[in-house]
Amino acid sequence: MFKAISPLDGRYAEKLDPLRDFFSEFALMKMRVITEIRFIKAMDELRCFAPLTADELHRLDKIETAFDESDYLEIKEIEKTTNHDVKSCEIYLQRHAGLREPNRIHFGLTSEDVNNLSYTFLLKAYRDSVQLPQLKELLLLLCDYTEKWAGTVFPARTHGQMASPTTYGKETAVFLNRLFRQYKHLGEFVFRGKINGATGNYSAFIAASPQIDWQEFARQFMENYNLALNPVTTQIEDHDSWAEYFEITRLINQILLDLDKDTWLYLMMGYLILASVKEEVGSSTMPHKVNPINFENSEGNLKISNALLSALTEHLTNSRLQRDLSDSTVARNMGTALGHSYLAVSETLKGMKKISVNSEFCLQQISEYPELLAEPIQTILRKAGHSDPYGFMKDLTRGRRLTMKDIHKALETLNIDPDLKHDLKSLRPENYVGIAPKLARVTAEEIRDYFRENEQ
C-alpha cells in the first residue's frame, strides 16, 4: 500500500476496506463467475439441456460461495492467453464446474450480457449494504442534532449579512430533509439490465431454441434479482440506469458539500465549537489550533467524486454504433468515484460528531443587532395600516448599527394604538425565530418514524 498510486489504496486504504468487496478487480471477476452461474441455473428451468444434477448444482454453489484468491489468479492466468476477461471466466467454469454438458456455460451470451449484469449486481450490493447504511447513520446523527438544538437560537446570514434569526436545529433540519429525500430516492431506485445477445436481438438464443420466449426469460431473470429489464438495446446495455444512480449519488454529494461549507463557516464565525482531540496536532508551529480538517477532507473528496461521476455519466451513456470498448475502461473507475464519496461521508460524520453550538455567543451576536427587528416591525405595521412601514424602517435601520433604545425612540414618533406600540417595544431579536423549533422537531420525528416503520 505504501507504493500505491491512488490515495484510496494508499493513505486512505484502511478506511476504504468495505469497498473492496464491490469495486476491486477480484470482486468484478468473482461476480462475472457468479453471473454465469446464475444464468446457468435460470436457464436450467427451460430444459434447453438435460436438467442439472444435484452434484452439478452443488459444485456450482461451491464455486460461487468458495471463490477465493487462487480462483481469481487462475482466471488471470487464463486471461494471459485469451486476452479476454469474460472468456477466461467461461474457461475457468468449464474446468471446475464438472458439467456433463459444458456448452450450457455462456450459452447464447455476449460478454456484455455478463459485464452489464456483473457491474449492476455489484453496484446494487454496494448501495444496499454500504452506501445506504452509511447515509442512514448520518441522517440519524442529524436527527439527534435537529432535536437537541431545535430551540437553540442561532444567527442567520443572507448574503453574508446578519438576517432574521433562526435556530441551529432548524438549519440542521434543512440538510436533514434534503438528504433524506435523496436517501429515499436512492433506496427506491431500480437498476436495469440486459441479457439479449450480441446485438440485442436474442438472435443466438432463438436460432438454437426458437420455441422459448427468451424475452420473457430475460424479464423473469431480472425480476428474480430485483432488477428491471431494459427491453431494447444494442450489444451493450445503454448504462442510463448507471448514470441515473450516479446522478443521485452526485446530488447527495452536492448536499453534503453545502453542509460541509456551512459548518466550516459557522466554526470560523464562532457559532459552532469543534471539540479538540488531545493527541492531535492542528499546526506544526501554532499549538493552539483546532482545525476543521474533517469538513475540508470531505469537501475535497466530494469534488473529486463528483468530477468522476460526471465523467462516468457523460461517457457511459454514449457508444459508437452497436458498441465500442471505451466504456470498459471508464466503467472500471466506478469504485474510485464512489470511494471518494464514501470517504467524504465518513469525514463529514467524524466532523459532525465533534461539533457543539456556542449558544452564549450566538445569543450575544443576535442581541447586538436589534435592527433585525426591522422585518417584524414593518410587517406588523403593514397590518395596522401604516402608510409606509417599510420605508419607515428602512430609513431607520439600513446601513446603521442601532440599539434597542434607538428603535423604541423611533416607535414613539408613530401615531398608532398604545397597546400596539407596547407590543412592538416588547419584541426582541433573540425571540424572533417563528416556528423554527417546531419545523426542526417535526422533520426529525417524521424521519425517525420512517426508519422505525421500515425496520419492522
**pLDDT tens across 413-448, in order?**
998 899 999 999 999 999 999 999 999 999 999 999
The predicted pLDDT at position 393 comes to: 87
- pLDDT, mean over the chain: 93
* 3-state secondary structure at position 108: coil
The predicted pLDDT at position 105 comes to: 96
- Average pLDDT score over residue span 40-47: 95
**pLDDT tens across 341-397, in order?**
999 999 999 999 999 999 999 999 999 999 999 999 999 999 988 889 999 989 988
| ∠ Cα 327 330 333 (to 5°) | 145
**pLDDT tens across 401-416, in order?**
889 999 999 999 998 8
Is residue 57 over pLDDT 80?
A: yes
The predicted pLDDT at position 357 comes to: 97
With a CB cutoff of 8 Å and minimum separation 6, the contacts of 130 are 18, 19, 22, 342
Least reliable range by pLDDT among 125-134, 280-289, 291-300, 324-333: 280-289
Is residue 284 over pLDDT 50?
A: no
Q: Which among 242, 225, 251, 236 is positioned nearest to 335, based on CA atoms?
A: 242
Question: What is the pTM assigned to this prediction?
Answer: 0.93
The predicted pLDDT at position 278 comes to: 58
Using CA atoms, how far apart are residues 389 and 379, in angstroms rounded to an integer?
8
**pLDDT tens across 154-202, in order?**
999 999 999 999 999 999 999 999 999 999 999 999 999 999 999 999 9
Neighbours of 47 (CB within 10 A): 10
The predicted pLDDT at position 279 comes to: 61
Using CA atoms, how far apart are residues 377 and 21, in angstroms rounded to an integer?
60
Is residue 19 over pLDDT 50?
A: yes
Map out the domains of the chain as residue ranges.
362-431
Is residue 289 over pLDDT 70?
A: no
List alpha helices for 102-158, DSSP H.
Answer: 111-126, 132-148
Place of cell 448504462: 239
Of all helices (H) and strands (E), which one includes residue 154?
strand 153-158
Using CA atoms, how far apart are residues 400 and 134, in angstroms rounded to an integer?
47
With a CB cutoff of 8 Å and minimum separation 6, the contacts of 241 are 120, 190, 191, 192, 228, 230
Best-predicted range by mean pLDDT (269-278, 286-295, 382-391): 382-391
- Average pLDDT score over residue span 278-299: 69
**pLDDT tens across 66-110, in order?**
999 999 999 999 999 999 999 999 999 999 999 999 999 999 999
Is residue 287 over pLDDT 80?
A: no
- Average pLDDT score over residue span 257-278: 92
Using CA atoms, how far apart are residues 454 and 448, in angstroms rounded to an integer?
10
The predicted pLDDT at position 4 comes to: 80
Phi-psi region of 442 (alpha: psi -120 to 50; beta: other; left: phi over 0): alpha
Is residue 209 over pLDDT 70?
A: yes
Is residue 283 over pLDDT 50?
A: no
- Residues designated catalytic: 159, 283
Torsion of CA 431, 434, 440, 445, to 10 degrees: 120
- Average pLDDT score over residue span 12-31: 94
The predicted pLDDT at position 21 comes to: 94
Is residue 16 over pLDDT 80?
A: yes
Place of cell 395596522: 384
Q: Which among 64, 127, 91 is positioned nearest to 338, based on CA atoms?
A: 127
For the chain, how are helix, strand and coil distributed in percent, rounded to 5? Answer: 65, 5, 30
At the topology level, CATH places domain 362-431 in Ribonucleotide Reductase Protein R1; domain 1 (1.10.40)
Selected residue with higher pLDDT from 423 and 289: 423
